[in-house]
Amino acid sequence: MAVLWLVLLVSLSAFYLGVFIWAVIQHFLIVEIPSALEHPVKFRFLHCVMLYIIALGNILEKMRICSMLRFIQFFYDLMVIKKNHNLVVTNMRFGTIPVRLFQPKAVSLELRRGIIFYHGGGAICGSLDSYHNLCSFLAKQTDSVVLSVGYRKLPDHHHPCISKDCLNASIHFMKNLMTYGVDPSRVVACGESIGGGAVALVTQALLNFPSLPHICAQVLITPVMQVINFRLPSHQQNQNVPFLTKDILMTVVCKYLDIDLSWKDALFNGTYMPPDTWKKYRKWLSSDNIPRRFKSKSLLPEFSGPFNEAAYLEIKHISDAEISPLLVNDKIIAQLPEAFLVTCEYDPLRDDALLYKKRLEDQGVPVTWYHVEDGFHGCITLFDKQLFSFSCSMKIANAVASYIKGI
């Protein structure tokens, strides 16, 4: 019996080691590490671990043991939650939507600022737990009441569950601000990655509820703002930069929007887009709107391939302002509150925020822009991970807190 256990142990060890070696080989075959990024060895290690987890998830899914997405979610939620003795943290539900409220313990003689936070994670990972420490940090540093929204996500839920849950939770919170000690004139919507896109969608949608208090500022951290033009400079320049490589980004977009993965290339190359439709959106989504400093000489043209009508019929629903908040008309943009936009140089979504910045500024909406030269997508989630943190992580967390404190 002891021999059998030893053989099993050795076999499992060899299996896990083999998968990790495969992940390391994949990393070095597909990944580009920009020279300006600090701690390249740490960066490579973290990406290898990510590929390792994805590979194990795929194996378990093929063995019908566990879906790959749930396996990733399990690992992502293993983040250590740090208890802050200066805050009261309450788990609640607004209807069926789980939310977490962070309230400073110290007595305040006046109503506090409110922050509604929508987490990132590409509709796959990300949760109330994995963003707990960031919300706790914002509540403590800004002396604000923070509401974190735990929206539904993959694999069971697709578009429009994120925007719908975020909007419904926000409406409920806005109707009961006094209950939570929040000043109705100082409510901020804040989000990261897909949560940043939710900030734009919710802020736009709340214009239809004039009886509610108004959002006074929107904070968008490396947001996804559109799923139409994947040939922007940042997409081309950073398509092989972790942790949001081209393959991961396109897979996430297709899964959340319920698009068959066979259309990934048509979506990325833009061949699904009829020329007349592109003419309509070009004024908002073209790389012509991106500052010259962010463009390299080797950029490929946008939507240069032949039109693929079959692809268009399958994925034409993505040309919707409820998916891409960059597509709303100027009248709506002009009514939006001031914005704080965070971009990272080595993020494929960098230019989404730059396009939104231009749209807001063109309509007279005040914008504060914070660009991180050594930043990459998702780096803010590592701000408190000590050994695995980067200076850009803390820079963004501090910049966001500093801006909110000024409101």
> Which position among 47, 132, 159, 377 bears the catalytic label?
377
Residue 377 appears among annotated catalytic residues: yes
Q: Which residue is catalytic, options 130, 148, 193, 324?
A: 193
For residue 216, the Cα-to-chain-centroid distance in whole angstroms is 21
3-state secondary structure of 45: helix
Does the annotation count 163 as an active-site position?
no
Residue 403 in contact with residue 340, Cβ under 8 Å? Answer: yes
DSSP sequence for 253-292 = HHHHTT--GGGHHHHHHTTTS-HHHHHHHHHHHSGGGS-G
Distance CA 312, CA 16 (A): 42
Query: What is the three-class DSSP state of 58?
Result: helix
- Please, are residues 118 and 146 in contact by the beta-carbon 8 Å criterion? no
Rounded to whole angstroms, the maximal C-alpha distance in the chain is 76
Residue 107 Cα distances to 61, 101, 103, 278, angstroms: 51, 17, 10, 55
Catalytic residue chosen out of the listed positions 347, 351, 352, 384: 347
- Beta-bridged to residue 188, according to DSSP, are 115, 217
Single-letter residue type at 8 = L
Q: Let me know if 347 is a catalytic residue.
A: yes
Distance CA 244, CA 229 (A): 16
- b/e 360-399 (16+ beta carbons within 10 angstroms → b): beeeebebeebebebbbbbbbbbbbeeeebbebbbbbbeb
Could you check whether the bond before residue 160 is cis, i.e. omega within 30 degrees of 0?
A: yes
**What are the residue numbers of the active site?**
193, 347, 377
